A and B are shown apart, each in its own frame.
Chain A
Amino acid sequence: MKCRAYAIKIIIYFVLCLVTIVFLFPFFFMIMKSFMTQNEAFAQVVQFFPKQLYWKNYSQLFDIQMLNWLKNTLVIVVFNMVVTPISSSFIAFGFAKMRFPFKKVFFTVMMSTVMLPGIVLSIPMYVIYTMLGWTNSALPLIVPCIFGGGALAIFLYVQFMRGISNEIDNAAKIDGAGAFRRYWQICLPLCKAIIIYQVVGIFMGLWNDYTGPLIYINDPEEYTLGLGIYYRYLTGSEAGIDISAGPKMASGVVFSIPPALVFFFFQKQLIEGVNIGSVKG
């Protein structure tokens, strides 16, 4: 019996190793190719390793334009990371800790917005932002975060806040603290776990996002990093740029490093966040 359990263990390890190798192969390949010269990348015989690390693929990535795109991305990301947790938790506090008539109606309406497909909304939003003169700027990607960051984020906060004991909150109420003080000074600091989860998610979501910038931004000066890389290396629409395999892969590697690092550092919080969300499906 013990022998059998042992065998099963080994089989599971073996399968997992195999699966992991398959999943990681593209990364390995991307990194290796990013260090290859053009001749190596297009060699007739398959080459997995570069003869020596060809750093020029990386050094030529960083021109002023690219740094400008990075700056544009960071503006959007940082603004959302700071504002969204406040707006999401503010609305959630109303749902979780306040009592007022028609609360359920508000909640149902909020949850039903999840059903609206982004592509339907994007057309009128584009028209509205154009009329406001906001296209070709970061505003369409920044301003909406003051409205709570979406139903699912708010829902997550509500779930989390309901789990926080009411004792301190009631004590504060008796001491005469108003609703806003109770939200800001008592509830919000207790939401640290969910705030970290949300902020990390916002960073990854916006860093990786391309559909928003693709629709609202057409001016190369205002591109985000993702959009810039898309036009430069995926469509090859920019003149005078080397778009052979080496620099292409190097841009992919550089662009993937920040979200990968964030994921490695915060994976515990991210996975716990999935658990909070799945309590009530």
Chain B
Amino acid sequence: MKKREQSLFKEMKKNYQGYIFMVPLVAGILLLNIVPMVQSLIYSFMDYDMMNKMEWVGFGNYKTMFTIDFKPVLASLNATFLYCIISIPLNMVLSYFLALLLNAKLKGIGIFRTLIYLPCVIPPIASALLWQDMFDPQFGILNRILEIFQLPKSMWLDSPDSALGTMIFMNLWGLGGGMILWLASFKNIPPSLYEAAKIDGASYIVQLFYITVPMTTPIIFYNLLNSMIGGLQVFTSFLMTTSSTLYDNIYFFAVRIYNEAFVSFNMGYASALAWILFMIIALLSLAMFKWNRWVFFGDEN
């Protein structure tokens, strides 16, 4: 045992240079991840406003969340989950279709790809400006267009009934982001599989469900995980609303955390909320890794 320790130490000493390359990484993880995580956990048990109040309240913040504040907190969780449950599958399926279309070997297909991806590269602030104007119930272009086709108008963001739907609709403008990922994953499928299928006379639909989809399951998994982690932190309604139009059903959890922390300076309570969100994300991620038998990880497994 002692000998093994000694040889490990020797090995470390001999290769000490490798650790020099790890210095910025370790410093970064300590200063930007571990210290803040611990700090925020401690704050979550405190009443802290960054001015003069800083006292230990035990589980007080968590208690508030589940008693006095239960209704708004639950509403925020609901809004966030509902947004994720509708928006994520919708985005994934539609962007997959789009990628299938854009995977066709046609002249000029690159131009279509570029143009459809374009909305993903412009600043969210600019797209918020733009959509806010288009959604205006009175003067907005969308209602004008609906009018031309004699369809019923919508209040878009100006009514609690349509606000969440509008958020989900707006999010579809970014389908290009998912599309690029799918296109990359299609490239990694060995062409021999399709050739074999063609010889067997398999139709396009059969090829799609027996080759393309199974072969891209790792990216589907990766994309689903990422969308979930990102979706639970959705923040867009912050840009699109004012305090009077931030209805309960688009008052996303991350917006609530932001307001508690950086508007009201309830740092302790905000940290507690943030930790709840972290726990939800961690649990759901773990669950996804546990139930990932549908993912095809290649031949080695």
Cα(A118)–Cα(B35), bound, Å: 14
Contacts of B123 on A, CB cut-off 8 Å? 207-208, 210, 226, 255-256, 259
Q: Is the CB of A275 within 8 A of B278?
A: no
Q: Is the CB of A229 within 8 A of B173?
A: no
Q: Is the CB of B121 within 8 A of A26?
A: no
The secondary-structure label for the interface of chain B is helix
Q: State how many angstroms separate the Cβ of B199 from the closest Cβ of chain A.
A: 17
Q: Which of A172-207 contact B (CB under 8 A)?
A: 178-179, 183, 204, 207
- Give the size of the chain B interface in residues (CB under 8 angstroms): 93
Which segment, of A49-57, A59-67, A121-129, A162-170, faces chain B? A121-129
**Given known A117-B281, A274-B181, A278-B188, contact A98–B17 (CB-CB < 8 A):** yes
Q: State how many angstroms separate the Cβ of B223 from the closest Cβ of chain A.
A: 9
Contacts of A93 on B, CB cut-off 8 Å? 21
Q: State how many angstroms separate the Cβ of B251 from the closest Cβ of chain A.
A: 15
Contacts of A259 on B, CB cut-off 8 Å? 121-123
**Given known A120-B277, A147-B28, contact A226–B18 (CB-CB < 8 A):** no
> Is residue A79 contacting chain B, with contact meaning CB distance below 8 A?
no
Contacts of A148 on B, CB cut-off 8 Å? 24-25, 28
Q: Is the CB of A12 within 8 A of B129?
A: no
Cα(A214)–Cα(B173), bound, Å: 24
Cα(A34)–Cα(B267), bound, Å: 41
Cα(A27)–Cα(B130), bound, Å: 8
**Given known A20-B115, A110-B29, A249-B129, contact A91–B21 (CB-CB < 8 A):** yes
Which segment, of B63-71, B133-141, B160-168, faces chain A? B133-141
- Most B-side CB within 10 Å, residue of A20, A26, A277: A26
Which segment, of B83-91, B100-108, B150-158, B206-214, faces chain A? B100-108
Contacts of A229 on B, CB cut-off 8 Å? 125-126, 129
**Given known A90-B24, A226-B125, contact A100–B130 (CB-CB < 8 A):** no
Q: State how many angstroms separate the Cβ of A89 from the closest Cβ of chain B.
A: 10
Q: Which of B1-59 contact A (CB under 8 A)?
A: 8, 11-12, 15-22, 24-29, 31-33, 35-37, 39-40, 43, 50
Chain B 112-150 per-residue mask, 1 if CB under 8 angstroms from chain A, else 0: 101111110111111111111110000101001100100
Count of inter-chain pairs, beta carbons less than 8 A: 256
Contacts of B28 on A, CB cut-off 8 Å? 144, 146-148
- Most A-side CB within 10 Å, residue of B22, B106, B125: B125
- Which 6 pairs, one residue from A and one from B, show the smallest C-beta to C-beta distance? A94-B21, A147-B28, A100-B18, A98-B18, A124-B36, A124-B39
Binding site for B on A (CB under 8 A): 9, 12-13, 15-16, 19-20, 23-24, 26-27, 29-30, 33, 41-42, 46, 87, 90-91, 93-95, 98-103, 106, 109-110, 113, 115-128, 130, 144, 146-148, 154, 178-179, 183, 204, 207-208, 210-211, 214-215, 226, 229-230, 233-235, 245, 248-249, 251-253, 255-256, 259-260, 262-264, 267, 271, 274-275, 277-279, 281
Q: List 17 A-B contacts (CB under 8 A).
A: A16-B112, A87-B24, A91-B25, A94-B19, A116-B278, A119-B233, A120-B37, A121-B33, A124-B39, A127-B43, A128-B35, A144-B32, A148-B28, A215-B258, A226-B125, A234-B125, A259-B121
